[in-house]
Amino acid sequence: MSNKVPSDSLKRVFLLSFLIVCTCGLAMYLIPTVMLGMTIEFTGPRHDGYLELATMLASGEGFRFEPGGDPVMHRPPLYPILLIPATFFPVGWQEMAVISLNSVLAGISCMMLMLLSIRLFGSHRVGYTAVALYLVSPWLYRLVSLPHTALLQSTLYLASAVLLMSMVFGDRHGQPLKSVRFRRAALAYGAVGGLLTLTHGVGFLVFGVTWFALTVYVALIAPRSTRSGRATAMLASACLAGVIAAPWVIRNALVLPVTVPVTTGASFNYFMGNVYWNLGGHDNDIERSLQDNALRAGGVDKAASDAMRFWGVMDPTDESALATSMREHMLANPMTVLEKSLWSLADNFVPLTHLVYCQFREAASCAGSNVVSRLHQFGLSLYYLALIALATVAVVRGRQRGPALVMFALGGLHIGPYLPLGQWAPHGIYGLSAVLLLIVFSAASLLQVPPRSGGH
């Protein structure tokens, strides 16, 4: 039996997934706008500014939101670069271009789900079922219509998980990778890690931690005869990731007066989370917005309309003040950080958590919920709870738990850094990469397929 997954299977998975996601995404855009004459907000202050950045890049204005504006430090560069072709379309066609790009990313994610399923369970059926579970996600078709980096980030994260599992546990038959294949996988891992770093600050952390753990594995656990070559491959992997990320890091060092390895924004979001959950002992003004109160809690007494653009603080001085306040507040209130993290964890996977929370505690974020958002949160909660239940069954029933533990550790590594921020989790973006890992085990549970034995 060949060690390779048939390329025809992957091509079919990609094409079918792309067509389904793209068709549904376009229908969700065209039916309301063309047939019903509705206006759907696609860009602007409520969104994250990625398309605006792409427009400025395409026009030669640099990484800023508008001509002559301040350099942006709270958005990563890779997704705006990918969006540049969409900016050359007429405004009415740009959303369709974005939907097409995001559908390609969703199709690649489905290929990665297929590869990961075969690696863990040795079954194409598990792979196809995992793809189906992903394609029925209530949140996927909202994400596909947004110029947002979530699908790019989760696709790269899933690709890194596939490569890591292969390097640690071997090929689809549990056989250790040959030296040449390991070197190729390590270089691919470095490339994916560098690109992941350019999609979000958490990507830098994820790659750094997993690269270090994999290097320790190579040094201590891998067969002695292969250690030297594999250690060299891991060094080359880190160098490649560094080369990919270096231009962005250098840009930040030259353009910004503050140290920004990838992005800023964690400090504002930390205080936004305190306001969201009404924690931290801040004196919130009910007459002000959530963003205004978050800035005041962090020691920046400015209106959000003046200090922020697209959910990020623009002035490096304000960013430095918020970062200092965050460190001081976290050290002085560790139990608040823990409580907020637990609420955030629950809210990521059960978005109804915040609605229930608001029945017992008052918070400024409890106002403004509508029927549509509640129905969305209800559907997403059912979907995630079903995945968690099915994945738990698969792990408990499985004989080989090593790969499962590594997979859950990867999911925790991705979502963990977001938890102390703890705000606006119901949109599901923060937990998306971890959810993709759950989907593989959920598919195996549905088919009652145990993890294959093997590994080293």
pLDDT mean over 99-110: 96
Residue 414's alpha-carbon distances to 187, 207, 210, 360, 434, in angstroms, are 21, 10, 11, 30, 7
* pLDDT band at residue 352 under the 50/70/90 scheme: confident
At 258, list the tokens: 């503050």
Q: How confident is the model at residue 267 (pLDDT cuts 50, 70, 90)?
A: very high
pLDDT reported for residue 442: 93
The Cα–Cα gap between 15 and 130 comes to 16
Q: Which has more confidence, 257 or 422?
A: 257
pLDDT of residue 151: 93
Sign (positive or negative) of CA dihedral 257, 259, 262, 264: negative
Residue 43 has pLDDT above 80, yes or no: no
**pLDDT for res 3:** 44
Closest to 309 (Cα-Cα) out of 63, 145, 40: 63
Residue 319 is predicted with a pLDDT of 93
How buried is residue 250: exposed, middle or buried, by Cβ count under 10 Å (0-12/13-18/19+)?
A: exposed
Three-state secondary structure call for residue 20: helix
Question: When comparing pLDDT for 308 and 361, which is higher?
Answer: 308
pLDDT in tens, 300-325: 999 999 999 998 999 999 999 999 99
Provide the pLDDT confidence category of residue 400 given band limits of 50, 70 and 90.
low
CA distances, 453 to each of 23, 98, 152 (Å):
39, 42, 32
Question: Left (φ > 0), alpha (ψ -120 to 50) or beta: where does 67 sit?
Answer: beta
Q: Measuring CA to CA, which residue among 6, 31, 12, 16 is closest to residue 135?
A: 16
Please give the pLDDT value at position 175. Answer: 75
* Residue 1: per-residue pLDDT: 35
Please write the tens of the pLDDT for every residue from 55-103: 999 999 999 999 999 999 999 999 999 999 999 998 878 999 999 999 9
Give the mean model confidence (pLDDT) for residues 129-145: 91
**Taking residues 405-411, what's their average pLDDT?**
86
**pLDDT per residue as tens digits for the range 12-35:** 999 999 999 999 999 988 887 776
Of 226 and 310, the structure prediction assigns the larger pLDDT to 310
Residue 2: its pLDDT value, please?
41
- 3 state DSSP class of 64: strand
Higher per-residue pLDDT: 268 or 139? 268
| Residue 211 scores a pLDDT above 80 | yes
- pLDDT, residue 203, reads 87
Helix, coil or strand: residue 308? strand
pLDDT band at 212 (very low <50, low <70, confident <90, very high): very high
Report pLDDT for 20: 96
- Report how many helices (DSSP H) and strands (DSSP E) the chain contains, helices first: 19, 2
Alpha-carbon torsion, ordered 76, 351, 105, 46, to 10 deg: -50
Nearest to 21 by CA among 115, 140, 132: 140
pLDDT at residue 37, rounded to an integer:
63
Determine whether 278 is exposed, middle or buried from the number of CB atoms within 10 Å of its CB (0-12, 13-18, 19+). middle
Q: What is the mean pLDDT of residues 275-299?
A: 90
How large is the average pLDDT for residues 429-441? Answer: 86
